[in-house]
Structure 1
Amino acid sequence: MSSKRRELLRDDRNGKIAGVCAGIADYFGWELWLVRVVVLASVLLGFGGILPVLYLVGWIVLEKKSVAEQRSGEPVRAAAERPVEVKTRVWQRGEAPPRALNHLKQQFDSIEYRLRDMESYVTSSKFQLHREFNKL
């Protein structure tokens, strides 16, 4: 588990309208579709007066996630560099165990190919030649 303090931010990359639902899903570690279904069901079941107001307030008050990442100076990681999150419950965010295992296998295969390339370069005569030139 990360020791970094989490903030409630609007997720402008995964959001449809303003990213408020995506930000809530990210903050609590839930699936995005579940948050959207709960909001839609709440509007249809009678909370229609207050929810749009709360959504609008969230849109105005919450900072965009991309802006917060730029301000903090943390580089945005590519999908291949992010840690794999395995979900244990239906509503949790993450990958199903078989899919996560496949994702990890692809990452290890990629690392192995890079390691093979480095090993073939280091054991080649080209590496020895460059090494001798650098000594001069």
Structure 2
Amino acid sequence: MSRRKGELYRDPKRGKLAGVCAGLSDYFNMELWLVRIIFISAVLLLGGPFFIVAYIACWFILEVKPDALPQQGMSDKNSAERPIEVKSKVWQAGEPPRRALHDLKEQFDRIDGRLQAMEKYVTSPEFTVSREINKL
């Protein structure tokens, strides 16, 4: 997402119809499905004709994203390949909730084991003797 501030393009490669929602998702750094839901909700709840006309206007006004244009000499196979994007936010990681819960449980179990080992050492006579020796 290396774009300069103020650049809004439509992205027909990622779009269903003309790529306007895909371009807006890139511009606002939002998930594409969320932009689509917001647009459809706006059409249904706030007045369909205005948003539909606005979509069509954006379709004609906005330029196609430069890297979305097909390059000469590239086969369809290469143009379909897109670099894998790693999502950085926790809720975007794609890890199922059960797996995330299992991972957290494992971490807490390890921490609990370490805490029990420390407690066992601190309450042992060995710790008391070692502490008394260190006081001398």
Contact 2:14/2:22 (8 A) holds in 1: yes
Seq. identity, %: 43
Unaligned runs of 5+ in 2: 72-78, 97-136
Q: How many pairs align?
A: 86
Residues 1:86 and 2:88 are matched in the alignment? yes
Letter in 1 for 2:33: W
Please show how residues 27-106 of structure 1 align to structure 2 within 5 Å. Answer: 27-65=27-65, 68-69=66-67, 78-80=82-84, 84-88=86-90, 95-96=92-93, 98=95
Which protein shows a greater Rg?
2
Distance 1:12 1:64 in 2: 7
Name the CA distance, whole Å, in 2 between partners of 1:70 and 1:11. 6
Which runs of at least 4 in structure 1 moved beyond 3 Å after TM superposition?
none
TM-score (norm 1): 0.52
Say what the alpha-carbon RMSD is for the aligned residues.
2.9
Q: Structure 1 residues 51, 22: CA separation in 2 closer, same or farther (over 3 Å shift)?
A: same
Residue of structure 2 equivalent to 1:112: none
Residue of structure 1 equivalent to 2:20: 20
The two structures have a TM-score, normalised by structure 2, of 0.52
Give the deviation of 1:64 after TM superposition: 1.0
Matched with 1:132 is none
Shift of 1:63: 0.9
